[in-house]
Chains A and B, each alone.
Chain A
Amino acid sequence: MVEQIDSSPVRQPRVGLFVTCLVDLFRPNVGFAALKLLQRAGFDVVIPSQQTCCGQPAYNNGDARDAREIAKQVIDVFAGYDYTVVPSGSCAGMIKEHYPRLFDADAEYYEKATTLSSRCFELTEFLDGIGDGAALPEMPSCSYTYHDSCSGLRELGIKQQPRALLARVSGLSMLEMQDSNVCCGFGGTFCVKYPDISGRMVTDKVEAICATGADMVLGGDLGCLMNIAGRLKRIDSTVSVYHVAEVLAGKTDIPPIGGNSS
Chain B
Amino acid sequence: MSDSARNAVLDSVRKALGRDCELDASIETALDGRLNDSGPHVLPVFDEPPLERFVDKLETVHATTVRVAGVADIAAAIDSYIGAHRLPTNIVVARSALLDNIDWPAAFHVEHRGATVDDVVSVTEALAGIAETGTLVCGSSESHPTSLNFLPENHVVVISESRLYKHMEEVWQELRRLPGGLPRAVNLITGPSKTADVEQTIQYGAHGPRRLHVIIIEQH
Chains A and B touch each other in the complex, with CB atoms below 8 Å apart: no
What residues make up the interface of B, taking CB atoms closer than 8 Å to A? none
What residues make up the interface of A, taking CB atoms closer than 8 Å to B? none
